[in-house]
Amino acid sequence: MKTLSERQQLILSFIEEFIEEHDYPPTVRDIQHGCGISSTSVVSYNLDRLKDSGALSRDSEVSRGLKLAGQKGGSSGPVSIDTVAVPLLGTIAAGSPFPMPENDTWSDLTGQELIDLPQAIIGTGDGLYALKVRGESMIDALICDGDLVIMEQTSTVRNGQMAAVRIKSDNSTTLKHYYAEGPRTRLEPANPLMEAMTFNSDDVEVLSRVVGVWRYLG
Amino acid sequence: MKTLSERQQLILSFIEEFIEEHDYPPTVRDIQHGCGISSTSVVSYNLDRLKDSGALSRDSEVSRGLKLAGQKGGSSGPVSIDTVAVPLLGTIAAGSPFPMPENDTWSDLTGQELIDLPQAIIGTGDGLYALKVRGESMIDALICDGDLVIMEQTSTVRNGQMAAVRIKSDNSTTLKHYYAEGPRTRLEPANPLMEAMTFNSDDVEVLSRVVGVWRYLG
DNA sequence: ATAATTTCCGAACATTAGTGCGGATATAAT
DNA sequence: ATTATATCCGCACTAATGTTCGGAAATTAT
């Protein structure tokens, strides 16, 4: 049996993910653009090759007439270790109020979406929660749309740590590196190309500490 | 909530059986003939009613763009908290050569530092490796010093995915969103405030795909 | 090198398939 | 009955989508 070309494997994995996302197969043109192929005929050609090799079946003259043959291969044998489940409490977006765990929220986590993180890198996971970032409002913090921010609810952070802080006079909330310097508090964006700002310490309220950021590019 | 008409229930069950048989949803006309309806517009009308009632979702202007509400992904088993161990191969810094897994590196992982990541968000973990970022040379990619970049060794990525690409004429390597557009290839920084650049496709070599970024602020 | 084969390209082309519209028909409310 | 609402009918229109074809380019075999 002929081995699949790189492009054919790419197409195959694209189809798989497309179905995973949409619950229906892609069109020839979906594949074309998704895989950066210049012509629909090339897609059609490779689909026929894939059909020949038995990797999929194809209904002629039917839009989205694709069916993967070798569905999900059984997962090999992932090593099981301890993980910590962290509740996904909501999303942050520019302007929207900053979601915070509340007393009853903690006790009633039923139905909450949970994010599993390895204990090895997270620690005990006590008091941790996750927020999903919406929009590009946190570019300054090197955080973009879709990122998952892991936070620890605390009102005290050490200098240099990143925290969700509220500027009372603005009633705005941002993620910044925190530096208490006596009566003044300096907030420094993660992006070193951007300028820091200082406020009266009274004006700055620490909401949570940022423990980690997870960006998944599937 | 309105109760479904007989015809709507018929359509619903037809869609269900059709998907069962073909693995892709029917067209409006498939439904028309399958349910003995005289006009496509009647089908379209009832599909909209079914959408209103939440029985299914419909992608506009998309052939077979149907998804039954009660169906979601594959088998929903018990949530496993398995993790996958990913080898930490080295560090990336500005100017330094981009570390890549080599043949013997793969076979001899003894003593390699391993990073555990949840299988739930990483997948099988096949062909994955991790690199630690040194320095601020990747600010454009919203990646900063200390970040852990999870990569998959592949030379083919789909449009829109982020990848480690080498510009041959520069002999430089960066992380960019990749868009193959025929003879030209567009590389787009993750930071939407920055401009994209295009190169001759010959001049661009894909080294690895970026699967995820983990930033730990302990 | 030369020829054979595979793969790719671009541009039509032809069918498939979703949508819109005027009007008919039924069903329910007033 | 009369109005309102929901459903249906055909038909035409347009967008979506699979296919074809001549030729170029890359790969492999002789």
Strands B83-93 and B128-134: parallel
A206: in domain: yes
In a shared domain, residues A202 and A120 = yes
Cα distances (Å, whole numbers) of residue B175 to A153, B89, B149: 33, 17, 10
Whether B49 contacts chain A with CB within 8 A? no
Q: What's phi and psi for A156, nearest 5 deg?
A: -130, 125
In a shared domain, residues B102 and B16 = no
Whether A100 contacts chain B with CB within 8 A? no
In a shared domain, residues B49 and B104 = no
pLDDT at B25: 92
* Whether pLDDT at A187 is above 80: yes
* Whether pLDDT at A110 is above 60: no
* Whether pLDDT at A8 is above 80: yes
In a shared domain, residues B165 and B62 = no
In a shared domain, residues B142 and B52 = no
Cα distances (Å, whole numbers) of residue B213 to A145, B20, B91: 13, 38, 14
C-beta of residue A28 within 8 angstroms of C-beta of residue A41: no
- CA neighbours within 13 Å on the CB side: how many for A20? 10
Nearest CA in chain B to A78: B84
* Whether pLDDT at A105 is above 50: no
C-beta of residue A163 within 8 angstroms of C-beta of residue A208: yes
Answer yes or no: is A200 CB < 7 A from strand C: no
B78: in domain: no
Number of domains chain A is built from? 2
In a shared domain, residues A53 and A147 = no
Per CB-CB distance under 8 Å, the chain B contacts of A116 are 79, 81, 83, 118, 120-121
A76: in domain: no
In a shared domain, residues B180 and B107 = yes
For the segment B70-121, what is each residue's pLDDT rounded down to a tens digit? 654 433 322 333 455 666 666 665 555 566 554 434 434 433 455 555 554 5
In a shared domain, residues A26 and A116 = no
Please report, for the domain that includes residue A169, its CATH number: 2.10.109.10
pLDDT at B80: 34
In a shared domain, residues A154 and A191 = yes
C-beta of residue B121 within 8 angstroms of C-beta of residue B212: yes
B76: in domain: no
In a shared domain, residues B31 and B117 = no
Structure tokens at B49: 């009613």
Between A204 and A20, the more confident residue is A204
Q: What is the mean pLDDT of residues A48-72?
A: 81
For the segment B57-69, what is each residue's pLDDT rounded down to a tens digit? 888 888 998 888 7
Concatenated DSSP letters for chain A? Answer: -PPPPHHHHHHHHHHHHHHHHHSSPPPHHHHHHHHT-S-HHHHHHHHHHHHHTTSEEE-TT-TT-EEESS--PPP--PPP--EEEEEEEEEEETTSPPP---HHHHH--TT-EEEEEEHHHHTT-TTEEEEEEESSTTGGGT--TT-EEEEEE-S---TT-EEEEEETTTTEEEEEEEEEETTEEEEE-SSTTS--EEEEGGGEEEEEEEEEEEEE--
Between B114 and A192, the more confident residue is A192
A77: in domain: no
B1: in domain: no
* Whether pLDDT at B22 is above 80: yes
B107: in domain: yes
In a shared domain, residues B109 and B13 = no
Supply the range of the domain harboring residue B42: 6-68
In a shared domain, residues A121 and A58 = no
Please report, for the domain that includes residue A32, its CATH number: 1.10.10.10
B195: in domain: yes
